[in-house]
Structure 1
Amino acid sequence: MKDSYKKQLAEKLKIAKQKSQRNNIIRHLPLPLADVLKNRPYMTTPKLETILMGVNQKWGFALHTHEFIKKYPDNRIEVSWEKDVLQFVASTEPTHKHACLLTGFENSPLFIVERHWAVQHFQALWEGIGLKDLWLFDEELTFGLLICRYGGYIEHDPNPGEYFYAITYWGE
C-alpha cells in the first residue's frame, strides 16, 4: 500500500513541476508566441511519458547514440550553426495538423500546437528558450523534427563555441 501511495505522490509532484515549467516557458517567449502557447492544450505525466516512449521505441531506443547515426543516416544531420538549423526547419513542408512541441527545459510539458504555426515561428520559439533542444512531432509519429544541441564540434566545420546541433527528422 505504501509503495502505491509513494508512486501516486511522485506522479502528482511531477505533474505539478510540469505545470510550473509550462508557465516558466511561456514567460521566456515573446508576447505574441506566449499568448498562443498560453491558450493551447498541453500534456503532462503520465500521457507525456507514454508519447515520449513511443518516440524512443520508433528508433529502437537508439536516439542520441552513435548506433542511431550508423543505423539511420537518412534521418539525421549534424550542423555547427544556428542558421543551418533554421534553414533546415524552414525547408520542411508544414501542414496544419496538430503536433506535440517539447522544449529542452527539464520537466517540460508537451504543448499541442499547429505544426504549421510551430515551423513558421520556429526561430522565435527556439531563441525564446535559449536555443535549447526543441522537438516537434505528431502523436502518431508520422512526422518528427528533433533539434538537439551537443558539446563538441564537427571536424569539417567547427563552431568556436564547441557545440553542434543534431537534427533528427522523419515523415511527410
Structure 2
Amino acid sequence: MPLTEAQRIGRLAELHVERKLTEAGWLCGNFNVSVGNAGSWDLFAKKGGKTRVLRVKGSSTADVTWRVPNGPSTPFADFAPGDPCDWTAVVVHVEREPVAYILPTALLVESVRLAGLPADWTILHLHFRQATRDVNHPGQYGFDEEFKKYMENWEL
C-alpha cells in the first residue's frame, strides 16, 4: 500500500533524525519498524548513560501541523510531565534542507499551553523559521526564536 503524503513526510523526518543522531554517536532504533505505527514515540536513542524516546514531527514547509484530539493543552495524549527521557524532534523543510529542533517534550507542551490557543482546536499549527505569517488562522509564531538553542541539538 503506498504511503500518503503525510506518511511520506513523516518517514523522511524520522530518517533525517535517525541519521543525524547516529552521526552524533547515538544508538538509534525506530519503534514504527516493529510496531507498525507506534502511537506514542517514533524513535529511541541511547548514548552512554542517556536514554531518550523521541516523537518526530515533520513538515515540507516551516509550518508543522498535527491532530490534537484533546485540544492544544494536551498535544500528546500520553505525555507524562517531568519525564526527562521524553523528547520531540520537529523537522521543517524535510524535502529540501531539513532543519531540526530537538527539545524536551515538556518544554514544547508548556510553550503551546502558554500560547493560549482555543481549547476546542483539534489541529495544532506551529510556525518555525519565521516570526510572522499572513494567514487567516491564528497559531503560535516565532518558535524558531523561542527554541533557537535547540536547533540541531543532537546531544539531547
**TM-score, reference length from structure 1:** 0.30
Higher relative contact order (CA 8 A, sep 6+): 1
**TM-score, reference length from structure 2:** 0.31
* Rg comparison, structure with higher value: 1
